[in-house]
Structure 1
Amino acid sequence: MAKDSLTNLLSQLNIQLSQDEHPQVEQTCLKLLDSGCEDPADVFRRCLVAVIQQDKYQKALHYLKKFKHIDERFGRRFALEKLYIFYKLNKPDEFNTLYKDVITDDLDTVFKKDIESLRGILHVRAQYCYKNGLYQEAFKIYQHLASHNGKNQDSKIELACNERVPLSVATELMNMSPLVTPTDESSYDLLFNESFIMTSLGKYNEAIELLEKALQEAINEGYQNDINTIKLQFSFVLQMMGKTAKSKEILKSLLKELKTDSPFYLICQNNLNAFSDFSKYNTNFNLLLRELNVERLNTFNLQSFTHEQWSNIQRNILFLRLFSNVKIHSGDSILSKTAHKYSKLVDNVTLESYKTQAKKLYHHATKTILSGTEGGTIGILLLTIQLLITEKEWENAIRISELFLNESWKSSFEKFNDSQAIVCYILFELYKIKGRNHSKDVLLKKLGSVRTQLGGKIQENIPFWRHVGFELLSIGNAKESKALLRVLSSFIKGNGDELVDRIVSSNPLDIAQGIDLVRDIDVDELIKLGVKPLESSAKRNKNNAVSKVQKRKALELKNKRKIKRVEKFLQSRDASKLPDPERWLPLRDRSTYRPKKKQQGAKQTQGGAMNKKSEQALDISKKGKPAANKKVKNKKKGRK
């Protein structure tokens, strides 16, 4: 192609970019690349941008493969566009490989460098982290971008929204660092994100107020997609508050407006089905899976859902398939591995009794824990505990939980993880049910050793150690409880924890504060409820499983009673009366045995005793009286 033709194409490219005609820009760039140009890297980057603006990410990936020679030579110049394509197509391996090539340092080192040249890449990285469940890294990046926005490179409202997005899933991140960006009620996007945080914290009334403001702003703007999104969240919050009628009404109105093939429609349909009570005996799970349109859901993957949404959908589908007795394949998640093993151990998940299932899972979980506590062991353990609790086998549930912790802490206390924290939560509740205060004291002492070895790392799980602090307080160990809560209060940022602050405070309790603590207690209602006496041990259900300790105590009590009976017999016995010499024979074979009249006519059996009359009847040596001769009657002769 002639030089003036190339110039014309480049001028067309600039005009089309200014007019936002992305399809024409794409075609112009392709012509330039096919004909040869002086700067193929810049032209190819513009081509990728045009395709991205059209949301044709699969097509962009095709161009990367088609012009591989340009990518290999000038790939660094359009690395941002490539990262965005991999992020939108949910290709984590390709994304991470390219990201590590572009940014070789860790995140803290990157923040110390010139951020302007890496600002776009950090934006894409933060979005990728949020979609794939790396909420802490996403929150850290957004906070850094928001605090280094002096030249207003990014919109303050967008940065404020992005900073709050990870907190909607992981609210504990607020303890690490307070929010950098302020709240602006003029933006319904920001109000919407704030409502997510309030919902996660359980503050539903505050969430409703924010959603009402956001919905009104969205209606004024006229963006229907945003209106539908806010209504869906509104329905969810109402459902959490127990206002099911209003929640259903909103979902049904959304289903009438939305397209049936959209992911938003499927989410509304799933939320509406969540109001139904399912039974493993009466529900047709295969039909339910068809109604949920599982095949259509699986086609969307993470391209249309967040990591949390996609995980919830996959978990629900797996449970429905499990109770429909479909074979479960073991995947990467702990839940799929647990369901796979569960379906193999149990013959029929629906029909087999929970007692039998609990017994099978208990023996399997014991062997699994003894072989190692890492990997998917926690899944099998939690399922076993759930079945044991269903059958009220409290002692077995406690025993297998303690076995897991003892095996985990066999070498040292340094490797404390979330699995161990979950089991500790369960043990605290089980100890409370069975009234085992000594066992709770032993567990708290072990957790004290864990805390000593962890040191400052306890701030990674503040809610758990806060719970431990209150458990120490419940057994009267106020000194250690205050020491632990005082350390935790130093890690809590922002407004802090009011209850923890009151406990660790050295000031005496103010009467006004005490009144505030008991203000919500209705004394008259408590009096109306009355009291329920504790159940005595004699009325306990005999069908409950008995532990080895209880069996040993029962045997000791039985032996004591036997000894007392013998002593009492020896005191009142007649020494002149000898024992029966035939006492070793069966009762019927003794010479002193006399059957009752009703038993005399009974059928005699070999080895049994009989009276004299019966013996004479069977004696064949004695002949009875001869029978009288019967006269033979002559037959009458007939006529010849």
Structure 2
Amino acid sequence: MTTSTPASLSLLLQNLSLDENQSHEEVLRHANNILKSSSDPQTIRTRVVALIKLERYDEAVKSIEQAGSSGLGFEHAYCLYKLGDLKGALEISIDKVETERRQRALKHLHAQAQYRAENFESATAIYEELSALPPLVDNEGYDLRVNLGASEAQLSFVGKDGLRPKKRATAEDLQQYESAFNAACISIARGDLNAGLMLLRTSKKLCSSMEGVSEEDIQTELAPLIAQEIYALIKLGKLEEAAALYKSSDILETSDEAVKLISSANCYLTSQTPNPHVGLRVFEALKSYPQGSQKPFTFQSEILDRNTTILNLQAGKETAAIASAKALKAKNPNDYTISSVVAAIELQTADSSSAKSIAKTLKDAAVGRKLGSTTDIGISLINAQNYLKEDNVTSAVAVIETLLKELENEPEKRWLPGLVGVVAGLYTLQGRKTKAKAELENASAYWRSTTNPDPAVLLATGSAQLNSSNPQDQSMAASIFESLFASNPAPLSNAGYIASHPAEDMPSKIAQLTPLSTLLKDINVNALLDSGVAAPPVKKRPLDAASKPQIKPRKKRKIRLPKGGIDPNKKPDPERWLPLRDRSTYKPKGRKDKKKAKDLTQGGPVTDKDGDTEMIGGNAVTKVAPSQSAASKNKGKKKGGKRK
């Protein structure tokens, strides 16, 4: 083995700098020649950088590991990140990096790794920390703003932005297409589809008008924007417009496999009468999900898998649908949306109409098909919802309480925020506010004992205890809002902290609240005053008032009074309650009526057919003895008896 002299080593090191005509391959070749005779740290770094430029990350990692601790922490983390080893990239400590500049670069990399690992809260926290520091390089502030916006958009899509301020797109966001795209994604995730669509189209115009960028690169950048626009149009029900956009764009020509997969899957839904067999072929063609940095997020891939299960069910492939549902349940036991798919499979052929019969069918299916526990959270929520549709709140509460007893030994499921919210809501619906408050307090106690407490549960508990007049409840509310403010100083937690503490002790925190003028700037006070105050209905309308026949109210009869009014000095007629014909003043008309009235007059003489009379209705009644003829007739009769 030949050894290099200092003069030859110096000459080789000079060749490590790139000029206009030199490639990374040449730099790598020179570095390899030097490392044959010397382990110069700068040469090792140059070789690693050249391998990274050539996207040979495996060789770069081996070279770093062979060199040991040579100050290549950032390069090592970057290679692991590009290879998809996010955990390994995050394990490389910032302390292993020497200079402040490289430490900051590693923080950027950690934030990106947290983003790809779907730890969006951690990524957002790192980007906010970096944004608070002065930038070290050009355009770093813009990159931080774009990446922070992307992290906040993903937080909104997964529903973890409850305590974060609801940002609106600013004029600065509309200057670059990346920031406008992130603002559009946040609006779409929060349900403001029209605003999101407008921002997406603005972003597309900005992207298409970029200068100094090739047409191929512009089409690559436009692909995710078009995919998101298709999604927004579908959500708005504009299926024909979404299908036309999909066909007119070159989105299938993009190199981003995740965008191609999701847009193709969504565009299958644009058909007015989608054929499930065609849908299955589309999903089969896109079955192999892309990996690495183009891999869809978990919440996206799970939706695609669920859609495949539903397509199997719609196509009549019940066995395939059941197998797919079981696989999804085994893959993610806490995804209770799969329970609705299982319920649809079981109820497709079952003769179940009432909530009670549906509950029995689903319970038998859980046992017979071995689809999981009979106290599945998703199935229980379906049964409770069915009872609520029948206005049977008591049975709905009974279903949920049975579930809670079964989950007593599984606190991570028992105190899920969504389940806690359902329980508290049902108790409130029954008027059992004490039980609802106790449920929130117990949930808050559990979450505060964990390393990652759920802010939504703590916020709901603190808000409920603020309304109590009990000093202990108010003290606990203060403690909850203190922890919330320490971990997430968002406007809601700041407002709760101030509300639970004496205001005179915190002028600085009161100054952090949003001014009333800002909160009210979009409210038209004059229009509100002109519209008046809405009064609540006098009577509570039934839930199914539209289905019941409307019964007209019975008219009240008007009270008729004499024309001249009522004379207080005149005594009322004592016979006014008697029928007209029974009054003493009654005078029938005509001879026949007079004769008839004479015979029917109460208290007058009554003449029988023999001409005898007696007084009816008087003080004494004179009875006429029966005639002899009648007595003789009766005398001749024999007393009846039994025949012998």
Q: TM-score, normalised by structure 2?
A: 0.59
Provide the C-alpha distance between the structure 1 equivalents of 2:526 and 2:33, rounded to a whole number of angstroms.
75
2:127 is matched with which residue? 142
Moved more, 488-497 or 327-336: 488-497
Q: Is the 8 A contact 1:258 1:264 kept in 2?
A: no
In our comparison, the structure showing a higher alpha carbon Rg is: 2
Q: 1:335 to 1:520 in 2, by over 3 A?
A: farther
What pairs up with 1:18-167 in 2 under 5 angstroms?
21-33=23-35, 36-39=36-39, 41-54=41-54, 56=55, 59-62=56-59, 64-65=61-62, 67=63, 71-96=65-90, 98-99=91-92, 102-103=93-94, 115-152=100-137, 155-167=140-152
1:134 shift after superposition = 0.8
Q: Which runs of 5+ in 1 are unaligned?
A: 367-375, 540-640
Contact 1:178 1:494 in 2 (8 A): no
Query: Given that residues 64 and 71 in structure 1 are in contact (C-alpha distance below 8 angstroms), is that contact kept between their aligned partners in structure 2?
Result: yes
Other structure's SS at 1:165 match = helix
Q: How does 1:136-215 map to 2 (within 5 A)?
A: 136-152=121-137, 155-171=140-156, 172=160, 175=163, 183-215=172-204
Q: Which moved more, 1:229-238 or 1:464-473?
A: 464-473
Structure 2 distance, partners of 1:186, 1:353, is 59
Out of 256, 262, 269, the residue aligned to residue 274 of structure 1 is 269
Distance 1:203 1:214 in 2: 17
TM-score when scaled to structure 1?
Answer: 0.60
- Residues of 2 paired with 1:532 and 1:160: CA distance? 51
1:271 Cα deviation after fit: 1.7
Give the root-mean-square deviation of aligned CA atoms.
Answer: 5.5
Point out which structure has higher relative CO (alpha carbons under 8 A, 6+ apart): 1
SS in 2 for 1:235: helix
Q: Which residue number in structure 2 is paired with residue 399 of structure 1?
A: 398
Deviation, structure 1 residue 170: 1.6
Counterpart CA distance in 2 for 1:38 and 1:401 is 72
The alpha-carbon distance between structure 1 residues 384 and 194, as it changes in their structure 2 partners (threshold 3 A), is: same
Q: How many residues align?
A: 492
Amino acid of the structure 2 residue aligned with 1:290: R
Q: Deviations over 1:309-363 (max 9, x none)?
A: 34443444455567743324364422579969997x9996864566777436447
Q: For the structure 1 residues 284 and 160, does the alpha-carbon distance in structure 2 shift closer, same or farther, using more than 3 Å as the test?
A: closer
Q: Shift of the alpha carbon at 1:167?
A: 0.8
Contact 1:45 1:78 in 2 (8 A): yes
- Is the CA contact (8 Å cut-off) linking 1:157 and 1:187 kept in structure 2? no
Post-superposition offset of 1:495: 5.6
Cross-structure match for 2:280: 289
Percent sequence identity is 17
Q: Contact 1:177–1:493 (CA<8 Å) still a contact in 2?
A: no
Q: Which residue number corresponds to residue 446 of structure 1? A: 439
Q: Deviations over 1:41-91 (max 9, x none)?
A: 54343333334334x3xx3214544x5xx6244255323222222222222
Contact 1:138 1:166 in 2 (8 A): yes
Q: Conserved in 2, the CA contact under 8 Å of 1:52 and 1:85?
A: yes
Partner of 1:248: 243
Which of the numbers 309, 322, 338 marks the counterpart of 2:300?
309
8 Å CA contact 2:336, 2:377 repeated in 1:
no
Output one character per residue of 1:543-579: Cα deviation in whole Å (capped at 9) or x when no partner.
Answer: xxxxxxxxxxxxxxxxxxxxxxxxxxxxxxxxxxxxx
Does the Cα contact within 8 Å between 2:184 and 2:196 map onto a contact in 1? yes
Evaluate the alpha carbon distance shift between residue 45 and residue 408 of structure 1 in structure 2; reply closer, same or farther with a 3 A threshold.
Answer: same
Q: Is the 8 A contact 2:420 2:443 kept in 1?
A: no
Partner AA of 1:48 in structure 2: V
- The code of the aligned residue for 2:133 comes to H
Q: Which runs of 5+ in 2 are unaligned?
A: 212-217, 504-515, 549-644
The separation in 2 between residues aligned to 1:24 and 1:175, in whole angstroms, is 53
Q: 1:488 Cα deviation (Å)?
A: 5.8
Task: Tell me, in whole angstroms, the C-alpha distance in 1 between the residues paired with 2:527 and 2:404.
Answer: 38
**Corresponding residue number in structure 2 for 1:626:** none
Of 422, 426, 429 in structure 1, the residue corresponding to residue 422 of structure 2 is 426
Distance 1:318 1:284, change over 3 A: closer
Q: Distance in 1 between the 2:253 and 2:530 partners? A: 46
2:16 is matched with which residue: 13, 18, 25? 13
Provide the C-alpha distance between the structure 2 equivalents of 1:168 and 1:378, rounded to a whole number of angstroms.
37
- Per the TM alignment, residue 521 of structure 1 is displaced from its structure 2 partner at its CA by 12
Contact 1:458–1:465, Cα closer than 8 Å, also in 2: no
Structure showing the higher helix proportion among its residues: 1
CA contact (8 A) 1:322 1:339 kept: no
**Equivalent position amino acid for 1:204 in 2:** L
